[in-house]
Every structure is written in structure tokens, then in C-alpha cells.
């Protein structure tokens, strides 16, 4: 019988796997185990489903993928005859059922398996569709210590941790694939403190970091001792591996001597999430860089800054695509942004293409008056030119529409909506303004862009305009953005009834019009590029409305 240990060294591996890259994720795990073992780690803990990458969605339904994951786990297990053991996540088939599992690799074999019990099936999560729920777990014996291993959602309710505590767990180790959203730190704190108080056990929370399509995982791993006080806090949005020291005292186990790093909060966290999401989307999909239209407006300026911070100026190419409605100020402002960021910048007038299309369409449009159709030709020419540059040189087109535009349909299909990824898709216009101001005074620690002002104040201050006709402004077409965004947030994130919003003092006709625009633009949103999720409810995995839908609140 193994004698109880008095000390333990557990390495927390806050790392960035890639979905589907089984061999690459295995290589990361091997390197991490080797380096952590050299630093004295007894056990290295990886995030949820690390071998597969998270979320792997329907990829886990492919038998070949499951076989590759199992082979990788068994290969890593064979290397644990001596040295550090490994606690790692993978999809695992047992008894004909597929589980989201955590496996202890020790002594050259898979020595223990635990399956996730509570499968999230809300918001961005859809795990019940692909995984079976595991049975209530007991603790895992490890070198004289009983480890409770609830997986991510298993700690959001009390039952799994209660079961582990009642069956003798001494330390809770929680592998996570928990994506970023603005309220997530407070939510995690409330949940983990509650589990610690109920169980009277210390809790180690390891979260993955990195971008996966529209999700960004922020890391921010931590340890709470049984007295609820933090013993360690990792930074957010960056990879970290650290060996934590644990000692057994008369009243139980404690993590001792950890560092506390305050995670990014508020607008800084949103900005860092957008940068990381764009970086990983570009790099993990193998693009050499990005190209975007730089209009002289704040949206494209912020996207350009994020792209440079994510990839470096040498991988960002900006095109100014002016037509006769493009102002001199816009030309100057776009050039100023490009110069401040140090990116490649070219001016390509689009008049020949626009007027050529108008000439071709003249016989078909005979007897009609000019309207938004002709305006949209400009946007579609720009979109076609950007996609052509992308096709020729391989750079991905960055789409630059904000959430206010995505909500109301104030964007042109096959025009300014063209592109592969949109870093500001989940930011309302008023939030874009805030982040632009923030970037002029701060940038993430790992940003590759320059310090200082990169978006001139006059770009931030000038009235937003699509510049598709004379004297056009966004707010004249929609509403003042302060009002528009407040109403949209209540409709989208809050699902507030129109009558309730009106009762709070908003103009009834305006709220009804905004609600109609929101409902009528669903078909556009279905065709929009993916983009980083930062709010509690983004357009995409969070919000799934039917396109064909006659319900209206009037």
C-alpha cells in the first residue's frame, strides 16, 4: 500500500492546443512533461480534451480521429515509466460509448480514467450531441494522495464535487476548456469558491489558452486553498507552465509559494481576446498574413491595429479603395493609420470598375432611379478586389464590420462583408471607439505593433460614414450610436421585450424599427465571416434564430 505523501509538485500547463492536430498536441505535451519533470514535477496537468483540441465538435464522431487520439495517449503513457506522471484530456471510447475524459498516465500505462459528468448544452456548448455523460466519479489514487478530477462543467453544479469529497478526495484538480467572455472571471470565482467552501478542499483550476474559430480561451488558471484564498493566479491570454508546490498539513493539503498575476479586465481583456483570436485563426489555418480595406474610418483602423498587434506589420497589407464619394479627410486618415502602424499601404481607385459595372447594368435598370443598388456596387467592387488580392497572394481578408452593423444589417453582402475573419464582430460601435482610445495608450504585453498613438483622434471623433453617397452618415441612417447600441444590447444579449425597453424611456417607433432591422438581417448574419466572441451572446454559436421568421413584436 502506498504511504501518504507529505509533499507534491504539480505542474499547471496553461497551453494552446490546435483542434485536430493530434500529433502537434502530443508533441507539446511531450515537451511540457519533459521540461516540467526536469523542474521536479510529480504530475503535469493539461486542459480539457488537450490531445484533440477543444471544442472538436463533430470531429470526435470520426473513428479515425478517435483512433489517432487514443494512439497519442497510449504513446505518451508509455513514456511515463519513470519521471512525471500526466493528467490529460482526450475523447475516449469505453463500453461502446464516447466520453469527454481525463486520463492519468503513470507507470508506462493509462492508470486511471475519469469521464465528464455534466455536459454543457447551452450558449456555445453542444456536448450532449457528441458525448455520453460519465458516471459519478471517485477520487484517483496518485502516489499516496487521492485526487478529485471534476472536468470543467462538473464544478458548475455541486453534485460531482460533493461526491468526490464524500469518497475521500484530498485535492480537486479541474481541467477546463472555458472560453472568454466579459463576465467570466467573476462567474468562475463565485463557482470555485462555492465548491471549495462546500468540499473544504483546495482546488487547482487549469484552463486552456488560444483561439478556436470564434472562441478565445483566456487561460487565467489559478489555485484556491481550502480557506478560499488564492495561492496562485496565472496571467490571461498567454501560455504558461509552472510547477506548484503542495504540502500536507494537519488540516489538509495547501499550495504554497505561488505567484498572483492579475488577469486583464474590461476593455483591455476584450482587446487582448480579439488580438489572440485573430492571431490563432490566421496562424492555425496557415495564412501567410492578412489584407484589409483601410477606409479612413475607425472600424478598419482598429482592425488594422489588432492585425498588426497579432501578426506584426510585415504580415498586414492595407488597401485604400477610393471612389468619388471618398473624402480627402478619409484619404489622409487612412494614410496616417498605415504610417503609424508601419504596414504596407496602397491606394487603388475603383472608379473604372464601378462605372464599368454601371454601364453593363444600364440596359437592365432602364426606367429605374438610382438607389442603394448603385451604392452597393461600390462596396461589392471593394470586396471583389480584396478577395482577388487574397486569392492571388494567399493573405486572408479581414472583415471590419462591428456588431451594430451586423445587428441592423447595415452592411453589404458580397461587399464589405467579404472576408475570412472579423476581430470586431462582437463589439458594438461605441465599444469600438473605447477600444481605439485604449489602444492609443496601451497594448497587450505580447503585441507586435508599435507603442503610442496608432489611430489619430480625428479618426475616432469624426462622424462615421460608409461614404457611398454625398453627405451620408451612419447615425442619420440608423440612430445615434449611444442609443442604438443600448437598445441592441437589450434586444440581443438581454432578449428584452420591446414594450419593456420603451417603458424605460426609449422612443417606441425607434425601438420597433431597430427590432425589425435586427430580425430582418438574420440572413446576412448567416453569411458573415466568423469573429471573436467577447460578449455573453455573440452572433453565431450563441444566438440561433431562424432566417424565415414572421414573428414581430408589434
Please list the residues that pair with 87 across neighbouring strands: 45, 104
Say yes or no to pLDDT of 123 above 90: no
Q: Where are the domains of the chain?
A: 7-252, 267-468
Q: Say what the pLDDT of residue 3 is.
A: 56
Decide: helix, strand or coil at residue 111: strand
Please list the residues that pair with 422 across neighbouring strands: 531
Catalytic residue among 69, 106, 116, 255: 116
Q: Say what the pLDDT of residue 462 is.
A: 86
For residue 331, the surrounding DSSP H or E stretch is helix 328-341
Residues 6+ apart with CB under 8 A from 179: 124, 215, 216, 217, 218, 533
Q: Say what the pLDDT of residue 149 is.
A: 97
Dump pLDDT digits (tens) for 503-517. Answer: 999 999 999 999 999
Say yes or no to pLDDT of 480 above 70: yes
Overall average pLDDT of the 454-458 stretch = 94
> Concatenated DSSP letters for 340-378?
HHT-EEEE---HHHHHHHHHHHTTTTTT----HHHHHHH
Q: What angle do the packed helices 328-341 and 298-311 form, to 10 degrees?
A: 10
Query: Could you tell me which of 317, 241, 311 has the C-alpha nearest to residue 274?
Result: 311
Q: Say what the pLDDT of residue 1 is.
A: 47
Q: What percent of the chain has pLDDT over 90?
A: 82
Q: Are 205 and 232 in contact (CB under 8 A)?
A: no
Say yes or no to pLDDT of 35 above 80: yes
Q: Say what the pLDDT of residue 471 is.
A: 66
Decide: helix, strand or coil at residue 45: strand
- The answer to whether residue 152 is catalytic is yes
Dump pLDDT digits (tens) for 65-95. Answer: 999 999 999 999 999 999 999 999 999 999 9
CA torsion sign for 277, 279, 280, 284 is positive
Catalytic residue among 48, 127, 153, 467: 48
Instruction: For residues 93 and 131, give the distance between their C-alpha atoms in angstroms, rounded to a whole number.
Output: 10
Q: What is the pTM of this model?
A: 0.94
Overall average pLDDT of the 9-31 stretch = 97
Out of 36-45, 97-106, 427-436, 539-548, least confident range: 539-548
Say yes or no to pLDDT of 467 above 70: no
CATH number, domain 7-252: 3.60.110.10
Copy the grid coordinates of residue 99.
466520453
Catalytic residue among 69, 152, 274, 318: 152
Q: Are 53 and 212 in contact (CB under 8 A)?
A: yes
Helices and strands, number each (H, E), in the chain: 17, 19
Decide: helix, strand or coil at residue 27: helix
Q: Say what the pLDDT of residue 479 is.
A: 83
CATH number, domain 267-468: 3.40.50.620
Out of 4-8, 144-148, 408-412, least confident range: 4-8
Overall average pLDDT of the 40-53 stretch = 96
Q: Say what the pLDDT of residue 547 is.
A: 87
Overall average pLDDT of the 34-51 stretch = 96
Instruction: For residues 192 and 196, give the distance between their C-alpha atoms in angstroms, rounded to a whole number.
Output: 6
Dump pLDDT digits (tens) for 315-363. Answer: 999 999 998 888 888 899 999 999 999 999 999 999 999 999 999 999 9
Q: What percent of the chain has pLDDT over 70?
A: 97
Summary mean pLDDT of the chain: 93
Q: Say what the pLDDT of residue 252 is.
A: 92
Question: pLDDT class for 473, splitting at 50, 70, 90?
Answer: confident
Query: Could you tell me which of 495, 482, 498 has the C-alpha nearest to residue 536?
Result: 495
Q: Say what the pLDDT of residue 350 is.
A: 93
Amino acid at each position: 500500500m502506498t504511504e501518504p505523501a507529505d509533499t507534491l509538485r504539480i505542474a499547471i500547463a496553461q497551453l494552446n492546443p490546435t483542434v485536430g492536430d493530434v500529433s502537434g498536441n502530443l508533441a507539446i505535451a511531450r515537451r511540457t512533461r519533459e521540461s516540467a519533470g526536469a523542474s521536479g514535477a510529480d504530475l503535469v496537468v493539461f486542459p480539457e480534451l488537450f490531445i484533440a483540441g477543444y471544442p472538436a465538435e463533430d470531429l470526435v464522431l470520426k473513428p479515425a480521429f478517435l483512433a489517432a487520439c487514443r494512439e497519442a495517449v497510449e504513446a505518451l503513457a508509455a513514456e511515463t515509466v519513470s519521471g512525471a506522471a500526466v493528467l490529460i484530456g482526450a475523447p475516449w471510447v469505453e463500453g461502446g460509448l464516447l466520453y469527454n475524459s481525463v486520463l492519468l498516465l503513470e507507470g508506462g500505462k493509462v492508470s486511471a480514467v475519469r469521464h465528464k459528468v455534466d455536459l454543457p448544452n447551452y450558449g456555445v456548448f453542444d456536448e450532449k450531441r457528441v458525448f455520453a455523460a460519465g458516471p459519478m466519479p471517485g477520487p484517483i489514487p496518485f502516489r499516496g494522495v487521492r485526487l478529485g478530477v471534476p472536468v470543467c462543467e462538473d464544478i458548475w453544479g455541486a453534485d460531482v464535487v460533493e461526491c468526490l469529497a464524500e469518497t475521500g478526495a484530498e485535492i480537486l484538480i479541474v481541467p477546463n476548456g472555458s472560453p472568454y467572455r466579459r463576465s467570466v472571471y467573476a462567474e468562475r470565482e463565485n463557482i470555485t469558491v462555492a465548491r471549495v467552501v462546500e468540499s473544504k478542499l483546495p482546488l487547482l483550476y487549469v484552463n486552456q489558452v488560444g483561439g478556436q474559430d470564434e472562441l478565445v480561451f483566456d487561460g487565467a488558471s489559478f489555485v484556491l486553498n481550502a480557506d478560499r484564498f488564492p495561492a496562485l493566479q496565472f496571467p490571461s491570454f498567454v501560455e504558461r507552465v509552472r510547477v506548484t508546490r503542495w504540502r500536507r498539513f494537519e488540516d489538509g493539503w495547501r499550495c504554497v509559494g505561488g505567484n498572483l498575476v492579475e488577469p486583464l479586465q474590461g476593455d483591455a481583456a476584450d482587446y487582448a481576446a480579439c488580438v489572440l483570436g485573430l492571431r490563432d485563426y490566421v496562424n492555425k489555418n496557415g495564412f501567410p498574413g492578412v489584407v484589409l480595406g483601410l477606409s479612413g474610418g475607425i472600424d478598419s483602423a482598429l482592425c488594422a491595429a489588432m492585425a498588426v498587434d497579432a501578426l506584426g506589420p510585415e504580415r498586414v497589407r492595407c488597401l485604400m479603395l477610393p471612389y468619388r464619394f471618398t473624402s480627402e479627410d478619409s484619404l489622409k486618415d487612412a494614410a496616417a493609420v498605415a504610417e503609424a502602424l508601419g504596414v504596407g499601404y496602397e491606394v487603388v481607385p475603383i472608379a473604372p470598375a464601378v462605372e464599368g459595372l454601371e454601364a453593363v447594368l444600364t440596359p437592365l435598370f432602364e426606367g429605374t432611379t438610382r438607389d442603394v443598388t448603385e451604392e452597393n456596387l461600390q462596396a461589392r467592387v471593394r470586396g471583389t478586389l480584396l478577395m482577388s488580392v487574397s486569392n492571388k497572394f494567399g493573405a486572408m481578408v479581414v472583415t471590419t464590420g462591428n456588431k451594430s452593423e451586423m445587428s441592423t444589417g447595415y452592411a453589404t453582402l458580397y461587399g464589405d462583408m467579404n472576408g475570412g475573419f472579423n476581430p470586431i464582430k462582437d463589439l458594438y460601435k461605441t465599444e469600438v471607439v473605447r477600444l481605439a482610445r485604449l489602444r492609443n495608450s496601451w497594448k497587450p504585453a505580447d503585441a507586435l505593433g508599435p507603442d503610442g498613438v496608432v489611430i489619430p483622434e480625428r479618426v475616432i471623433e469624426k462622424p462615421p460614414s460608409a461614404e457611398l453617397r454625398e453627405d451620408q452618415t451612419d447615425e442619420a441612417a440608423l440612430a445615434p450610436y449611444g442609443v442604438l447600441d443600448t437598445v441592441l444590447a437589450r434586444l440581443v444579449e438581454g432578449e428584452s421585450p420591446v414594450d419593456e425597453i420603451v417603458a424605460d424611456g426609449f422612443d417606441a417607433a425607434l425601438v420597433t424599427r431597430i427590432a425589425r432591422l435586427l430580425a430582418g438581417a438574420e440572413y446576412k448574419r448567416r453569411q458573415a465571416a466568423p469573429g471573436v466572441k467577447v460578449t455573453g451572446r455573440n452572433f453565431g454559436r450563441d444566438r440561433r434564430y431562424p432566417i424565415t421568421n414572421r414573428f414581430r413584436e408589434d
